[in-house]
């Protein structure tokens, strides 16, 4: 079976969505990346080919990210959920396993709540949507409502590879785990016209004075789908307690908090990430 990664584009709701595909047999798995400056190849690049040895892998660039279109629209979690459904229709997946990190986790969970019969299993990595509290309180809200700060920050990172590399320290516990190839990919993504447009719009909508707008905790009891929650013990963006609490509320949930990992498990410990995901996928519940 071939595990070579192929690049494709598909039209969904009038927009071109880019995705990576690998593995020509096995059960389907759709991988969803995070927010800010992210894309399928950034968060999941070290995971796609190993997973493709046993599964048919699709790694989507969500609208506004990676090589997908960046239309001038309002970006919300609900919009990403809706477009995920359109993507599954476009590539012919009646049902699949979903795995999402950060924002992608919130999208995967939101879709599972909306259309549970289409999701066989669910993996949430440092997931959004499991708590309301903001990482820096009022400061997070102010930054979300005044996007010029993000534009200035992105402008600085675009001009300096060393600053771009250093910025990854906010999502990585041990920078020695980040290869220069990953830094190059991140720096290249920063150069894309319109980069972070989708994140700024999403953040302005999702961050309120009371905390994050989209929180699924009160609905977790409705999720019958077997769910694995993975969370870095050193994550400073979304606390591990979010996943631990969610696992208790999910009828078929389990959680593993992983030491010496922050917010980017598929890059910090890709081999462990693949092992945990594959064991969960192949389990006979």
Residue 163: exposed, middle, or buried by beta-carbon count in 10 A (0-12, 13-18, 19+)? middle
pTM, full prediction: 0.96
Residue 285 binned pLDDT confidence (cut-offs 50, 70, 90): low
Residues of the domain holding 39 = 6-282
Q: Is 104 domain-assigned?
A: yes
- What are 221-230's pLDDT values in tens digits? 999 999 999 9
Note the pLDDT of residue 3.
78
Q: How many other C-beta atoms are found inside a 10 Å radius of the C-beta of residue 120?
A: 15
Q: Is 94 domain-assigned?
A: yes
Q: Is 230 domain-assigned?
A: yes
- What are 263-276's pLDDT values in tens digits? 999 999 999 999 99
Q: How many domains are there within the chain?
A: 1
Q: Is 1 domain-assigned?
A: no
> What are the distances in angstroms from CA 200 to CA 32, 117, 126?
18, 32, 20
- Tokens 């994050």 belong to 212
Q: Is 167 domain-assigned?
A: yes
Q: Is 255 domain-assigned?
A: yes
**CATH number for the domain including 156?**
3.40.50.1820
- What are 148-199's pLDDT values in tens digits? 666 778 888 899 999 999 999 999 999 999 999 999 999 999 999 999 999 9
Taking a C-beta distance cutoff of 8 angstroms, is the pair 222, 189 a contact? Answer: no
Q: Is 247 domain-assigned?
A: yes
> What are the distances in angstroms from CA 25 to CA 3, 54, 177, 217?
10, 8, 31, 35
Quote the CA–CA distance of 260 and 183 in Å, as a whole number.
20
Structure token pair of residue 78: 């609900």
Q: Is 85 domain-assigned?
A: yes
> What are the distances in angstroms from CA 252 to CA 1, 107, 111, 149, 196?
32, 19, 17, 41, 35
- What are 112-161's pLDDT values in tens digits? 999 999 999 999 999 999 999 998 777 677 766 766 666 778 888 899 99
């Amino acid at each position: 079976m071939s595990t070579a990664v192929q690049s494709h584009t598909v039209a969904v709701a009038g927009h071109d969505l880019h995705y990576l595909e690998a593995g020509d047999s096995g059960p389907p798995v759709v991988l969803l990346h995070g927010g800010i400056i992210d894309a399928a190849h950034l968060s999941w690049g070290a995971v796609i080919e190993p997973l493709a040895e046993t599964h048919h892998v699709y790694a989507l660039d969500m609208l506004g990210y990676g090589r997908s279109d960046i239309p001038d629209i309002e970006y919300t979690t609900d919009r990403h959920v809706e477009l995920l459904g359109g993507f599954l229709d476009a590539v012919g997946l009646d049902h699949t396993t979903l795995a999402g990190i950060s924002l992608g986790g919130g999208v995967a969970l939101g879709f599972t709540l909306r259309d549970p019969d289409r999701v066989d299993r669910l993996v949430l990595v440092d997931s959004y949507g499991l708590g309301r509290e903001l990482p820096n309180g009022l400061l997070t809200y102010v930054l979300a409502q005044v996007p010029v700060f993000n534009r200035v920050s992105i402008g600085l990172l675009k001009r300096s590879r060393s600053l771009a590399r250093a910025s990854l320290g906010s999502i990585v516990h041990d920078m020695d785990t980040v290869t220069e190839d990953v830094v190059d990919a991140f720096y290249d993504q920063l150069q894309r016209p319109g980069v972070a447009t989708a994140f700024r719009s999403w953040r302005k909508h999702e961050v309120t004075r009371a905390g994050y707008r989209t929180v699924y905790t009160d609905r977790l009891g409705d999720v019958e789908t077997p769910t694995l929650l993975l969370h870095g013990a050193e994550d400073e963006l979304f606390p591990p307690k979010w996943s631990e609490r969610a696992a208790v509320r999910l009828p078929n949930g389990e959680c593993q908090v992983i030491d010496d990992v922050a917010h980017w498990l598929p890059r910090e410990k890709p081999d462990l990430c693949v092992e945990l995901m594959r064991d969960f996928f192949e389990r006979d519940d």
